[in-house]
A and B are shown apart, each in its own frame.
Chain A
Amino acid sequence: MFNVKRKSHMPKQAAIPAVQLKPTDLEQQIVQIQQYMSHTEDLKVQKLSLHGHLYAVMHIEALAMLETIQTNVIEPLVTANEGHLGQVLHSAEAKQSSNLVHIGQYLLDGYCLIIKEHEAAAMLLPAAQVHGRSIQEPKDEQVVKGSHDGFIEGINTNLYLLRNRLKNPDLTVKYFRLGSLTNTRVAMVFMAHIADPKLVAECEKRLNAIDLEYLNSVGNLDEMLEEHPLSPFPQTLKTERPDRAASYLLEGKIALMVDGTPSVLILPITFFSFYQSPDDYNSRWITGSFFRVIRLISFILAICLPAIYIATVSYHSEVLPIGILYSVKVSLTYVPLPPILEAFVMQTILELLKEAAIRLPAPIAQTIGIVGGLVIGTAVVEAKLVSHTMIVVIGLTAIASFVTPINEFGTSLRILGFPMMLAAACFGFFGIAIILMLIFIHLCKLETLGIPYFAPFGPFHGKENFKDVFLRLPLWMTNKSSQSPSYGLVKQTLFGRWKRP
């Protein structure tokens, strides 16, 4: 199922020989640590002489907060009477270690290190300074109604956001350190009694098997975890919304967080999850269902519309009645390109415009809008390079692909549009049917972590599971999710709601 390079994986730390801090002269101890930290100059050392003993306080300037060191380390040391280091220095999360590797690790996490001469055990006190972005609404997942908070780059803040939503003892966090060079903190979050234990074990196994030098984002993690790298469909969902992540956790899914990335990776995910948005649940069910249906129509439009147009004008123009046929064909008369090229050109121009506008500052991006809208849109048609209908078709397709609540999925759809157009240009409707069939077969074949991608269509679970797929039926009609078969699905109706008169 998943290519694991190393069959039995050892924890990364165990592979490195443990170097002990020698209980020698203070100077030598300092040199030993400096050597381990590659003589970096932002490793600050302060020597203290108290009660006839020599102490050294070390910290990395950029990571530690001076005030904390002053109040939590220097002052207790100076004011205290003679005693063991551990008795003098108190702090939550204080550590004691003589292992250089551990010491280095904690220094890099912003801890402050206190060593006493002729003692091997060094004290480590947390003094990290945190500079996080404030919690903002994510740019690419905005909602009309609902909460407007979003994950940020710090893993602790993100966990806070989740914990704050799910005040439940079942919420479990497991930490990993991935990336042999970056040592990035990764958190795996799941609900203990809701998530399938087999799923959690499998996910853990895969995480442990990852052998990467640097882990920059959840995107890297996604690539290392996914089962079907050749599939055009994303098999995990990346979200920056805590409400979204929390609701997936309640469905028994696993969330992976990477320190330094505001996105959270949700897996295993199903096809229909990409068409759900928090908005659906925050408005009334009729409105929610209406938008759900619109989005699913957009899926078909985004992959088929240009193909249907191409097939119609190049093979099956008899499908159109004479009135429509006339206006379509007239606009095609002076166009020198065949429909397939026309579509490819327009689709490429569209992608170019999108790529150009996406990273530009807003004032310049407006110019792109004018260039795109006026020059490309109007001038191209007036110059008889592309037909009117094609502009309409490509415009509709682009809009349909932007409808998906998760942007990444919309991009996959536009990519799928290209083989579709080619098939339509070669084999007309027959080609469209064949490619559509291939796409749906592929969707049926996909499985992530043993869960069919196209569930609930995959294994037909009865109509209960369809209450939140095409429509969003009222909450009191849907079921409480639970993965354990003995527990079954529990209906939320009757007692969860006041009784209708």
Chain B
Amino acid sequence: MNATANASITKTQLFFLIVKTQIGIGLLSLPSDIQHSAKGDSWLSVLLAGAVIQLLLLIYWRLLKKFQGANLSQIIVSLLGRYAGKALNLIYYVFFILIAAYASTLYVQLIRTWMLALTPGWMLFLLIIGTSLYLACDNLRVIARFFVLASMLFIVLVLISFLTFSHETHLAYVLPLGQSGISPILEGSERTFFSMLGFEVSLYFVAQVQGERSGGIGVMSLSNVFVTIFYTYFVFICQIGLSPGALTQVNEPVLYILKGLSYQLFDRIDLIFLTIWIIPMTATLVCYLAIAGKSLTVKQPSYRKLVVFSAITVFACGWILSAQENLDVFSKWLEYSYLIMIAAVPLLLLLTSFLVKPNKKVEAT
């Protein structure tokens, strides 16, 4: 298992890597979040957010194409030089860790609300982060293998969601189109954008795709289209399945619409849905641990150590975060500063790359 730090992945694997990172905990509460602002046009907000992400992906692609075979951390080092580059990479690392910690906090909260009300939080953290660590410390090819396998579950999830059509559905809830006007829709897509985070992993993973690079943007766009449609679909079924009033009341509408379903063999489809949903949620953590590792190191042995260290940090941060009364302030701060990191910084890097002649020798940090 030596020298496999840069083990190559196929394009199909890249697709599933991005998709699995993006689809995670955010979706479950998304419909009610957007409902507050965009009302009946929530699903339009999702589509809009997908379009914005597509623009960002184009920027990423330009940047990645300019530096073939290098991931973001290598690009930064070659553009900004050794010390400034390393400093920026460290900031990225901190953000990835914080995002992972935040996601795991939400994850644990969700599990405690829906499944295990009495289990101590640290226990759940330990299980979740331990599982993610077990996968994340291996090379990307292994991670990709698992993600492709786990993606089969999306089929099951979509099949389960079809059951909701046996409820009363009211298409009138989303009509007329554009009822809430432009600015609420924009506000809604801002919320959506944050729950669709995860596409930034492509900055690190595209470099390891084997074969010709030209198809990279195609895969990235395809995964974005898939995720956008997946999100839109779930937001849409929540909108037509729950009344606007109820939608603002419940925390996790996606689970809530499944809760009422009852069949002869089993009740509470939401629990089964959530059990399966645990896997995409963990996958998101795995990806953040992996890119946190990749942001600071290239070699496999040091990567492994770093991932172990990151996992411990995420555990500690998550525990501290879960002890907070109110996460709103923190999450607002985190989300907006993260937005700068994944939108503004790559754009600036792209602009810099036009001005600066890049240092040809990409330093292996």
Contacts and interface: CB of A to CB of B under 8 A. Distances in A.
Interface of A: 1, 315-316, 318-321, 323-324, 427-434, 437-438, 440-442, 444-445, 452, 454, 457-460
Q: Helix, strand, loop or mixed for chain B's interface?
A: helix
Contacts of B276: 433
Closest 4 CB pairs of A and B: A444-B145, A433-B278, A444-B146, A429-B275
A428 B145 contact: no
Contacts of B146: 440-441, 444
A321 B131 contact: no
B263 A321 contact: yes
A324 B145 CA distance: 39
B148 A460 contact: yes
B272 A445 contact: no
A321 B268 CA distance: 9
B267 A321 contact: yes
A481 to B, nearest CB: 20
B134 A441 contact: yes
Interface in B278-327: 278-279, 282
Nearest to B282: A437
B10 interface: yes
A430 B111 contact: yes
Given A427-B127, A441-B134, A459-B141, A454 B149 contact: yes
B148 A457 contact: yes
A432 B275 contact: yes
B336 interface: no
Interface string B111-155: 100011001000010011001001100100110011011100000
A423 to B, nearest CB: 9
The interface residues of chain A, by DSSP majority, are classed as: helix
Contacts of B148: 457, 460
Interface string B150-165: 1000000000000000
Contacts of A320: 266-267
Contacts of B278: 430, 433-434, 437
Contacts of A319: 266-268, 271-272
Contacts of B145: 444, 452, 454, 457-459
Contacts of B364: none
Given A1-B1, A316-B271, A434-B128, 9 more contacts: A315-B115, A318-B271, A321-B263, A321-B265, A430-B116, A433-B276, A433-B278, A454-B145, A460-B13
B115 A428 contact: yes
A441 B149 CA distance: 10
Contacts of A432: 275
A1 B3 CA distance: 12
A433 B275 contact: yes
Contacts of B149: 440, 444, 454, 457
